[in-house]
Chain A
Amino acid sequence: MATGNPKSSEITPERLYLRRREIIKNGALFVGTASAVAGGLLALTGRRQPAPPGKAAPIASAPEADGGVGAAPGVLTVARSTDYADGEKKSSFEDITTYNNFYELGLDKGDPARNGGSLRTRPWTVAIEGEVHKPGVIGIEDLLRSFPLEERIYRMRCVEAWSLVVPWLGFPLSKLLQRFEPTSNAKYVAFETLFDPEQLPGQKRRVLDWPYVEGLRIDEAMHPLTLIAVGLYGRVLPNQNGAPLRLVVPWKYGFKGIKSIVRIRLVADQPRTTWNEAAPDEYGFYANVNPNVDHPRWSQATERRVGEWGRRPTLLFNGYADQVAHLYRGMDLKKFF
């Protein structure tokens, strides 16, 4: 009785045994197919996790802000703070730094936060030239020391009908321009972004005519609301937001706010601007926020605040009409959009 052989009733019948093998095989194939299809679809339709903002663009080379003794790295000292957004809730630091249009660092909104690490913001110089009495080149450290930084909470309205409320740090562009003494021939200001495909890998593909250029009329440039931003939320500007310095014109669509500026040229004639050249019927030189002038492919009457589900009405001049409407008196805003 003590033999090692199992009873015949305990032996799995061959047919069942083969079926079990088949079931396991089919199960494996099912799981394989399902994961391949699901994984493939998720990869194809772009499920990309944005990198945490701090990691992608380290503020390692943060400037020694004035009075920076004991200050945390990247923290800027601010002279005063003014709310220009009528008490609206500020967008979160995460939303502001992971939802960016900065094609030089990638086309997807999350790309700039992921790819921003390749941009080196120190050393950095800005050339100011053209119709000025004292043309020159100014280094970023000098720039940060030259003007008291103030915090300004502005609405930011993208031409794509989304918006943010951003606590920028910076100084009025007029202060910078005055230092180089514009001549009476200076009727416009032309801006240029850094061109360096190694640092800004998006420039390897000719999605736009690089480098990115923008422009303002001189009265727009000298307007007290027009800001050169060097930081946000009390810290040095993250690379994906246009470090080390960018333009902020709160009553215009976001694409006017040229990033990572290396050249400012005062000129007599209206300068060419990148998006206007790419699609003249879609993006004008002025690009003032205007709910009554639609983009050819979508309405500008409403916008979505990033982080919210509903839509809100878009305000004429992005809510800054009292301060800037006089600049455009008598102009047909539908023609000069």
Chain B
Amino acid sequence: MAKPLPWLKPGILVGGIVPGVVIATEAATGTLAADPIAAMLNRFGLLALVFLIASLACTPLNVLFRWAWPARIRRMLGLFAFGYATAHVSTYVGIDQTFDFAAIVEDFAKRPFILVGFLAFVSLVPLALTSTNESVKRLGYRKWKRLHRLAYAAGIFASIHFILRVKKDLTEPLIYTAILAALFLVRGLVSVRKRLKTAAVASSKP
């Protein structure tokens, strides 16, 4: 039997790559913006956050609507988040600061939002490295799952990074933070319900 929804993964894959290609092409041809570096930083960063939130939304969507398909694209969404985060960090390190590591270290020390952003990126690295099926087997599902809770931390760090970065109008970062908070709430409620159930089962035993 053919796999269900054979178009889903290729569709997400191509749809996810296109914005990156558009940004890179516009930057290369000088049509991105008057300040292309700022535009690259902002857009890669936002793409990373959107994909991170999308990957964190898969389980809550399954819980709320009993949809099975989000789980099948979760890994791809997470890897897109990592990919765009890498593009974002590379733009900062390579193009914005031109590998001036003294200036970067100074930025870290003096500017909390850069440090927080770096923490978000660093939390994604082990997740990307252990994204294969083999890693799940090697680590064991429980351990793997516990490790991948780092995605929550990355989401929180990324939101703080965004909030601290904005000069005045907080609307946009707060919208993303609110979505993230709603996703956490769903997960929190699920885990509370699970615990109550287990407790009920345990107490009903003779």
Contacts and interface: CB of A to CB of B under 8 A. Distances in A.
Q: Interface size class for chain A?
A: 35 or more
Interface in B64-92: none
A207 B33 CA distance: 24
Contact of A33 (B12, B35, B42, B95): B12
A45 B19 contact: yes
A61 to B, nearest CB: 27
B113 interface: yes
Interface residues of B, number: 40
A207 B15 contact: no
A33 B7 contact: yes
A17 to B, nearest CB: 16
B80 to A, nearest CB: 10
Given A98-B34, A306-B35, A37 B11 contact: yes
B34 A37 contact: no
Contacts of B167: 160
B173 interface: no
A110 interface: yes
Interface string A75-98: 000000000000000000011001
A299 B168 contact: no
Contact of A41 (B16, B34, B110): B16
B33 A278 contact: no
Contacts of B187: none
A94 B97 CA distance: 26
Contact of B34 (A35, A109, A160, A294): A109
5 contacts: A95-B34, A162-B35, A297-B165, A299-B107, A311-B98
Given A30-B10, A33-B12, 4 more contacts: A33-B15, A107-B168, A297-B113, A306-B35
